[in-house]
Structure 1
Amino acid sequence: MQVNETLNEGLKRGYAITVTAAELEAKVNEKLAEAQPEVEMKGFRKGKVPMALLKKQFGQKVMGEAMQEAIDGAMQEHFEKSGDRPAMQPDVKMANEDWKEGDDVEVTMTYEALPEIPDVDLTSIKLEKMVVKADDAAVEEALANLAETAQDFESRKKGTKAKDGDQIVFDFLGKVDGEAFEGGAAEDYPLVLGSNSFIPGFEEQLVGAVAGEEKDVTVSFPDDYQAEHLAGKEAVFECKIKDVKKPVAAKIDDELATKFGAEDLAGLKTQIAERLEAEYMGASRAVMKRGLLDELDKLVSFDLPPSLLDAEAGQIAHQLWHEDNPDVQGHDHPEIETTEEHKTLAARRVRLGLLLAELGQKAEVQVSDAEMTQAIMNQARQYPGQERQFFEFVQQNQQMQQQLRAPLFEDKVVDHVFEQATLKEKEVSKEDLQKAVEALEDE
């Protein structure tokens, strides 16, 4: 077997690989000899089929397997000896397409090698860590927001008309073609107007209703309504309004605290303070991570594989185009051209991605099975009722696993670098931290 270099320009590499006919035949014979003891054929006992007959019967199939194994072996040996790591899957082609049995196999292999990443003195990096304390005002504001979400309702003055956001308590009886239908009736039903919990067009007709009023509401069931016997049908609901209530924030007391799993109001305030400080820490980390990436970007410079740059620039351009055209859900759109701005951003991302990967490898950073399982479970929660199917899909999909593993790995590498760098804490206000976060979003 021969491997000859044909291209070496920057990170581009090219090789001509030759597997001789004799090597190939030897590999075929070896594979047939391995299989011979288990082969059964009419007229011969198991394991006693002559090699010549085996070759005639299975030679073509085994030849293809032997050829693929020989080429794969040559590639693996080349990468082990050279130390090259291809940036993307190598492009492998048959050079002698008119190959026939008895000929040497000639293959060309081209790829872009990953560059050598220079060492970085992580201890030289200096970062500022923004620290925000959850003060009483922030806790009280969060408490008020909680009270809003736990809103209650109290009756309006008699004769007051119901508005959007009000709750009406009413009895209703639904009929189609004058006949009541199953599931179309209830008593003392509390409905918040504007919640869109009833058939489209229903709630709007009750805006303006007053307690004691009887009113017919006429609506049509959607054509795709889950109950087929009602789909597309017009229905009349006889409604009797019993009460009209306005929304009021829940009282901030021990009773509210128990609704949110705390023993009392003091305990709820402690929980809120801890949650707020966790949120502040998350935001502070995001700001500090951007600062770290900026510092790393200044510290390193090396050649980048053009294929990775093009792929990343294309992905950035595609993502930004969809952000500017949110109405286009699929990919049936004109070809999107990459700009110099896309390429500049792509260069930063590729450079930092390669650097973080190298730092993680040297530090032996690993994503554990437990961390992956947790990440999959977090993602699965976005598909209520289909969590199990999503979990199984990810387990069978290597690409999806990599998409989930990559950010976990990056965050662990970033934490590793934080441990090496010099961090200086600076206590700031919540507003200052918010401005710093907004600045990240604007970039």
Structure 2
Amino acid sequence: MQVTETLNEGLKRGYTITVTAAELDAKVQEKLLEAQPEVEIKGFRKGKVPLAILKKQFGQRILGDAMQEAIDAAMRDHFDKTGDRPALQPEVKMVGGEDWKEGQDVVVEMSYDALPPIPEVDASKVTLERLIVKADDKAVAEALDNLAGTAKSYDDRKKGSKAKDGDQVVIDFKGSVDGELFEGGSAEDYPLVLGSGSFIPGFEEQLVGAKVGEEVSVNVSFPETYGAKHLAGKAAVFACTVKAVKEAKAAEIDDELAKKFGADDLAALKGQISERLEAEYSGAARAVLKRALLDQLDGMVKFDLPQNLVEAEAAQIAHQLYHEEHPDDHGHAHGQIDPTDEHKKLAERRVRLGLLLAEIGRKAEVTVTDAEMTQAVLAAARQYPGQERQFFEFVQKNAQMQQQLRAPIFEDKVVDHIVAQAKVTEKEVSKDDLQKAVEALDEM
């Protein structure tokens, strides 16, 4: 077996791997001998089938396996000897392809971009500021008001009152398109809060001003993007009967409200709210600190980047931003999206920082535990209520999905490792100042 270098420019590498016909034949013989004791063919006792017959019957399949094993072994040996780590899966193609015949040498061309040497970073030279926000009485009171709003009740208005925005109307309705009732378009005693936006655009506004006992014809058009394709874009009429008009009544902020939310009393609820708010503030402050850390790291190190990684990342950024700008385009029939210079610049930063954090984590022996992965899978599975089991099975069989869940955990642990060695000062700020710092992250 012979490996010959054909390209060595920057991080780009190219090699030819030659497996001689004699080596390949020996590998096939070896695999036939391994299989012989277990093979049973009509006319021969188990383990007594002649090699010539085995080769005739199974030779082509074993030849393919032997060829793949020989090439894989040559690649592993090459990476062990050179210390190269390919940025992406090496591109491998067989010279001759379909023209190759048994008895000939196998020649394979292998190319890849090698991961660059990553310079050391002195974390003690990193200076960071951690923002601290306390949950003050005003913030707790605001959160309590919001909770009371979610627990509000609705009481009947005085007889003859007109429904206002924010009121709850109880209605019977029947929907029709072109004079025909359609499935799922009718209900009785339906409580609808006007202004909630829970019905088709334009529906709720036409019930403002209605009174108990009135019948209202609501004329609307289903959105072009409506989930039921047979209704999308269609004009519809809903015959509505108003059975009640109710006004919202905020819940009293007292011990009874606290008990509705699982607290012993109002004081305990305030304590829980304070803890939750400070946890939210802490999470936001961490995002600000992490961005500051990444900005410093990006300025501290420079090294060559594997262009295939940069190109793949730039393409991913361009594709993601396209769908953010075109939220109604859920498919992938939009053709090729060419990355801009801005996309490429962002891709270079992400690749540089990704490689740097990966190397720091590798040297620090940072790992993601099974328990951490389980928690990540549980959190992701909550996005698919009723399908949690199927999601778990999907993750177990999908290495790429496992890596998607593992990567952010690994990155956060590496960030914590660096921050622990950096010079970090704390600064107490207001909630508004923290909010401005968080908003500034999106503008960068």
Match of 2:433 in 1: 432
Partner of 2:92: 92
Where does residue 105 of structure 2 map in the other structure? 104
- Conserved 8 A contact 2:217-2:237: no
The match for 2:346 is 345
Count residues in correspondence.
Answer: 430
Distance 2:394 2:413 in 1: 25
Aligned to 1:151: 152
Deviations 1:182-226 (A, max 9, x none): x97867x65434557789988666543334x35476899x9999x
Matches of 1:199 and 1:323 in 2, distance apart? 24
Equivalent-residue separation in structure 2 for 1:332 and 1:410 (angstroms): 33
Alpha-carbon distance between aligned partners in 2 of 1:173 and 1:95, rounded to the nearest angstrom: 71
Cα pair distance change 1:214/1:400, threshold 3 Å: same
**Aligned counterparts, 1:296-315, within 5 A:** 296-315=297-316
Q: SS of 1:157's equivalent? A: coil
1:262 alignment partner, SS class: coil
What is the CA-CA distance between 1:382 and the residue it aligns to?
Answer: 1.8
Q: Is the 8 A contact 1:202 1:217 kept in 2?
A: no
- 2: CA distance between counterparts of 1:387 and 1:217? 42
Quickly say closer, same or farther: Cα 1:111–1:175, change in 2 above 3 A.
closer
- What is the aligned partner in structure 2 of residue 6 from structure 1? 6
Q: Distance in 2 between matches of 1:12 and 1:205?
A: 66
- Further displaced range: 48-57 or 76-85: 48-57
Aligned-partner Cα distance in 1 for 2:293–2:237 = 62
Partner of 1:262: 263
Change (3 A) 1:116 1:153: same
Partner of 2:377: 376
Displacement of 1:390: 2.0
Tell me if the contact between 1:14 and 1:109 (Cα under 8 Å) persists in the aligned partners: yes
Residue in 2 aligned with 1:124?
A: 125
- Say if 1:96 and 1:272 are closer, same or farther in 2 by CA, change over 3 A: same
Contact 1:199 1:219 in 2 (8 A): no
Counterpart in the other structure of 2:232: none
Give 2:340's aligned amino acid. Answer: T
Counterpart CA distance in 2 for 1:109 and 1:401 is 28
Deviation at 1:418, TM superposition (A): 1.1
The answer (yes or no) to whether the contact 1:214–1:240 under 8 Å persists in 2 is yes
Distance in 2, matches of 1:408 and 1:441, equals: 22
Show the counterpart of 1:18: 18
Aligned twin of 1:356: 357
Q: Give the CA deviation at 1:385.
A: 2.2
Structure 2 CA distance for partners of 1:184 and 1:329, relative to 1, 3 Å: closer
Q: Are 1:44 and 2:37 an aligned pair?
A: no
2:161 & 2:66 partners in 1: Cα distance? 86
SS where residue 102 of structure 1 aligns? Answer: coil
Distance 1:219 1:442 in 2: 42
One-letter identity of the residue aligned with 2:397: Q
Partner Cα separation in structure 2 for residue 185 and residue 92 of structure 1: 62
CA distance in 2, matches of 1:323, 1:240: 40
Query: Aligned residue for 2:231?
Result: none
Amino acid at match of 1:61: R
Contiguous gaps of at least 5 residues in structure 1: 226-231
The amino acid across from 1:401 in the alignment is: Q
Query: Structure 2 CA distance, aligned partners of 1:137 and 1:233?
Result: 47
Equivalent-residue separation in structure 2 for 1:199 and 1:346 (angstroms): 41
CA contact (8 A) 2:128 2:423 kept: yes
Contact 1:18 1:104 in 2 (8 A): yes
How far is 1:412 from its partner? 1.1
Check whether the contact 1:13–1:112 (CA below 8 A) recurs between aligned residues.
yes
Judged with a 3 Å threshold, the aligned counterparts in structure 2 of structure 1 residues 73 and 174 are, in CA distance, closer, same or farther, namely closer
CA RMSD, Structure 1 to Structure 2 (Å): 3.0
Equivalence for 1:62: 62
Once residues 227 and 146 of structure 2 are traced to their aligned partners in structure 1, the CA distance between those partners, rounded to angstroms, is 38
Residue 386 of structure 2 aligns to a residue whose secondary structure is coil
Q: Is the 8 A contact 1:132 1:429 kept in 2?
A: yes
- Aligned twin of 1:53: 53
Shift, 1:235, TM fit: 8.5
Alpha-carbon distance change, 381 to 59 in structure 1, aligned in 2, over 3 angstroms: same
Relative distance call for 1:304 and 1:57 in structure 2 (3 A) is same
The answer to whether the Cα contact below 8 Å between 2:173 and 2:238 also exists between their aligned partners in 1 is: no
Partner of 1:416: 417
Query: Matched residue of 2:246: which SS?
Result: strand
User: Separation in 1 of the partners of 2:93 and 2:191?
Assistant: 70
Equivalent residue, structure 2, for 1:228:
none
Equivalent residues of 2:366, 2:410 under 8 A apart: yes
Structure 1 counterpart of 2:18, one-letter code: T
Cα offset, 1:280, TM superposition: 0.6
Kindly provide the CA deviation profile for residues 30-59 of structure 1, in whole angstroms up to 9, marking residues without a partner as x.
000010011111211111111111112211
Aligned to 2:77: 77
CA displacement, residues 397-435 of structure 1 (integer Å, 9 cap, x when unaligned): 111111111111111111111111111001111111111
Matched ranges for 1:120-269 at <5 A: 120-169=121-170, 190-195=191-196, 206-211=207-212, 213=213, 215=215, 239=241, 241=243, 243-269=244-270
| 1:317 CA drift (Å) | 1.7
Q: TM-score, normalised by structure 2?
A: 0.88
C-alpha change, 1:165 and 1:336, in structure 2 (3 Å) is same
Distance 1:326 1:174, change over 3 A: closer
